[in-house]
Amino acid sequence: MASLIVTAAPYIGEACANRFFGGDLRHVFDDMHCNVLALSKTLGFSVVIMCLVLKLPQILTIMKHRSVKGISQSAFALELWSYSVAFLYGFVNDHPFTAYGEMSTLALQDVIVMFLLFWFNPNGNTAVYAVGFAGYFTFMFLAIFTDVLPMSVFTTLQASSIVVSATSKSMQIYQNFRDQGTGFLSLGSFAMALYGCVVRMLTTFAEVNDMLVMLSFGLSTFLNFVIVAQIIYYKGEAGASAATRKKRSPKAD
């Protein structure tokens, strides 16, 4: 038990670690604060682990079909920026890693998606992509490894990232509505993103209580829900239309 207390203490505090692993199990769940904190940490770790592969279904879908049909490049570019800013904001403010850690892996996966969007888009502008990637990696290096940027910059960026994140998802929602379809958008990726945003609202409330972060995840929850609903609806419509065409087509002699 002592080893469990030592392991858990950095995450849930020594008092809560002693309550859970101190040996007296009769009142182990009596402390609501410890219960909420333990649940928040567990869910937070689940999101960090899940987000290691959150974009994998989308990446595999693009590679399988060798097409980026229905995928908004601008939306993913803005999403990459939003994830990166969220990671930097948590990092420089010394928030618990379970409250923001997945943003680093999501940003990395979005970099891969952006590369695939460039690779499979014959109309892509090479110079724009090159300048964009160079500027992005330069900014990330300066933000993480130097003290060039003051804290006020990160606060401003986090506030603006709420608008950026909402804009990126709204652009994808609009494109889906305009095309009356979702192309090769991955239901798995967006469903996992929806789960992650819901969990992040809880972990932010329990561990950080930062209204900027809470507002960002609340808005992302709603917009991800809309995209998931669109994917389910339009794929259902496509399936129904295909079935109708099959019934109406003349049978071969």
Each residue of 74-131: pLDDT tens digit?
888 888 998 899 899 888 888 877 778 888 889 999 999 988 988 887 676 777 778 8
Cα distance between residue 174 and residue 166, in whole Å: 12
pTM for the structure as a whole: 0.71
Q: Which of 195, 178, 204, 199 is nearest to 75 (CA)?
A: 178
Cα–Cα distances in angstroms (integers) from residue 237 to residues 38, 45, 228, 243, in the given order: 42, 37, 14, 10
More confident site: 30 or 152: 152
The structure tokens 């920026």 sit at 81
Is the distance from CB of 206 to CB of 37 less than 8 angstroms?
Answer: yes
- Give the mean pLDDT of 50-59: 89
Return the pLDDT at 27: 62
Return the pLDDT at 252: 45
- The residues, ordered by sequence, that sit 6+ positions from 210 with a Cβ below 8 Å of its Cβ are 95, 204
Q: At 253, is the pLDDT very low, low, confident or very high (cuts 50, 70, 90)?
A: very low
DSSP string for 103-132: HHHHHHHHHHHHHHHHHT-TT--HHHHHHH
Cα distance between residue 133 and residue 135, in whole Å: 5
Cα distance between residue 162 and residue 212, in whole Å: 8
More confident site: 51 or 250: 51
Which class for 99: exposed (0-12), middle (13-18), buried (19 or more C-beta within 10 A)? buried
Return the pLDDT at 177: 92
